[in-house]
Amino acid sequence: MHPSGFVPLAGSRLPITEVSKLLASRPVVPARHTNKGHAVAHPLDGVGLNCDRARDHLDALEREFDAFERDAYRIRHDVERFGREHVYRVKALRKTRPQWGPVIGDCLHNAASALDHLAYQLAILHTGPLPPDLARDTHFPIYESPRQFWDNLQKLRGIGPDQVAPLERLQPYYGRYGPDYDSLMILKRLSDLDKNRTLHTTAHRFGGRDYYNPDSLVETAFPEGRLELGAELARFTFDPPDPEMDVEPSFIVRIAFRDTPLADGAGVWAMLNRICTRVEMIVDQFRPLFSELA
């Protein structure tokens, strides 16, 4: 319970006077500093470098994933029920590279660091140079419930009351499908996981298409799931049966996360791109505050 006796619910706001009181309960004492006349970089330069580095890792993964996905497996064509069923299965498979895990972790680290650097610069913009305790506490807030956000409000005391509402509105619990599907919460959970274990990947089936569609083709199925030896890639049903038929199917295979808090089959590149884009949008949202320092 806060000193005000009020815990906001999702969609609610503390009055600005109440926020100011809570943040002022631990006064900020600026750190001593000297100006030696060095050229001052733009406050968001470090943020931009982290965003760029995250994109570098993402681009490197995209190149390696594309090359792998083109040659990840071999198929066999099984004719069943005297030609009524034609089934395509995996007969040979390459393993995904364990080296990708640390690269994914570096991408996540740089994205998270960009947000923390942004929070740090917002604090400097409001407070001035930060004393050690305030510098230690200043991070970009990512919480899965309103209670968690407001219970940790003191950690935003350096940033000041004016930016509390914009930061609160970015929280995952406002996500369209809830916090579990919000890119910021996914960033936090994957980053936390990466701190003590390597992130693993797997090849995943995401459907396909057939290039030849005869009138005798009455049913088509492209099962999705992990790409494993013997896994069924497609099943075609013909009436009348045709043992010689081959519709020459193609299949969509992507690199997905394995053994993470994400749902099975979450594509690595798509998810990292979504996270990087969200981080870049947040940085751009706050960029006008620093326009006079450009």
Sheet holding 217-221, edge to edge: 73-80, 85-93, 232-238, 217-221
Q: pLDDT tens digits, residue range 174-213?
A: 999 999 999 999 999 999 999 999 999 999 999 999 888 8
Q: Domain segments of the chain: what residues?
A: 43-293
pLDDT at site 211: 87
pLDDT at site 292: 79
Exposed/middle/buried for 164, CB within 10 Å: 0-12, 13-18, 19+? buried
pTM for the model stands at 0.85
Task: Give residues with Cβ within 8 angstroms of 144, minimum separation 6.
Answer: 172, 173, 179, 180, 185
3-state secondary structure of 80: strand
Which pLDDT tens digits describe the chain residue by residue (294 residues)? 443 333 444 444 555 555 555 555 544 444 333 344 444 589 999 999 999 999 999 999 999 999 999 999 999 999 999 999 999 999 999 999 999 999 999 999 999 999 999 999 999 999 999 999 899 999 999 999 999 999 999 999 999 999 999 999 999 999 999 999 999 999 999 999 999 999 999 999 999 998 888 999 999 999 999 999 999 999 999 999 999 999 999 999 999 999 998 888 899 999 999 999 999 999 999 999 998 765
pLDDT at site 264: 80
